[in-house]
Structure 1
Amino acid sequence: MKGAIITGAARGIGLATAKLLAGDGWKVAMVDRDCEALKAAVGEVPGGVAVFADVSLPEDASRMVDEAKAALGRIDGLVNNAGVALFGPEAETDFAMWREVMATNLDGVFLCSQAARAALNESKGAVVNIASISGHRASTLRVAYGTSKAGVIHLTKQFAAEWGEHGVRVNCIAPGPVDTKLALAVHTPDIRAAYHDSIPLNRYGKEEEIAQGIVFLLSDKASYITGQLLSVDGGFESTGIGLPSLRS
Structure 2
Amino acid sequence: MTAVVVTGAGSGIGRAVAHSFADEGANVLAVGRTDSKLAETARNRPEIRTLVADITADGAADRIAEAAAAEFGQIDVLVNNAAVVTRAPLGGIDAKQAREQVETNLVAPLLLTQACLPWLRLSQGTVVNVSTSGAVRGWPMNSVYGASKAGLDFLTRTWAVELAPDGVRVVSVAPGPVETEIAENAGFSPEQIRRLRETQRAKVPLGRIGRPEEIAWWVRTLARPEAGFATGVVLAVDGAASVAM
Alignment correspondent of 1:89: 89
Alignment correspondent of 1:193: 198
Shift of 1:156: 0.8
SS at match of 1:174: strand
Percent sequence identity over aligned pairs: 36
Query: CA distance change for structure 1 residues 95 and 160 in 2, over 3 Å: closer, same or farther?
Result: same
SS at match of 1:226: coil
Alignment correspondent of 1:217: 222
TM-score, structure 2 as length reference: 0.93
Conserved in 2, the CA contact under 8 Å of 1:178 and 1:204?
A: yes
Conserved in 1, the CA contact under 8 Å of 2:2 and 2:27?
A: yes
1:156 partner letter:
T
Q: Distance in 1 between matches of 2:191 and 2:99?
A: 23
SS at match of 2:171: strand
The farther-off stretch of 25-34 and 182-191 is 182-191
1:110 partner letter:
L
Alignment correspondent of 2:11: 11
2:61 partner letter:
A
Alignment correspondent of 2:134: 134
Q: Deviations over 1:51-89 (max 9, x none)?
A: 122222351110101111111221100000011111111
Conserved in 2, the CA contact under 8 Å of 1:54 and 1:61?
A: no
Could you list the runs of 5+ residues in structure 1 that have no partner in the other structure?
241-248
The farther-off stretch of 40-49 and 134-143 is 40-49
Alignment correspondent of 2:59: 59
Query: CA distance change for structure 1 residues 24 and 83 in 2, over 3 Å: closer, same or farther?
Result: same
Query: CA distance change for structure 1 residues 86 and 183 in 2, over 3 Å: closer, same or farther?
Result: closer
SS at match of 2:242: helix
Alignment of 1:1-248 (within 5 A): 1-183=1-183, 185=190, 187-240=192-245
Q: Distance in 2 between matches of 1:186 and 1:75?
A: 42
Q: Distance in 2 between matches of 1:234 and 1:115?
A: 34
Alignment correspondent of 2:187: none
Query: CA distance change for structure 1 residues 89 and 174 in 2, over 3 Å: closer, same or farther?
Result: same
Structure 1 segments, 4+ long, off by >6 Å, are none
Q: Deviations over 1:174-218 (max 9, x none)?
A: 100001234574754443333222212110000000000100111
Instruction: Report the number of matched residues.
Output: 240
Conserved in 2, the CA contact under 8 Å of 1:134 and 1:142?
A: no
Alignment correspondent of 1:246: none
Conserved in 2, the CA contact under 8 Å of 1:175 and 1:232?
A: yes
SS at match of 2:63: helix
The farther-off stretch of 85-94 and 20-29 is 85-94
Conserved in 2, the CA contact under 8 Å of 1:56 and 1:111?
A: no
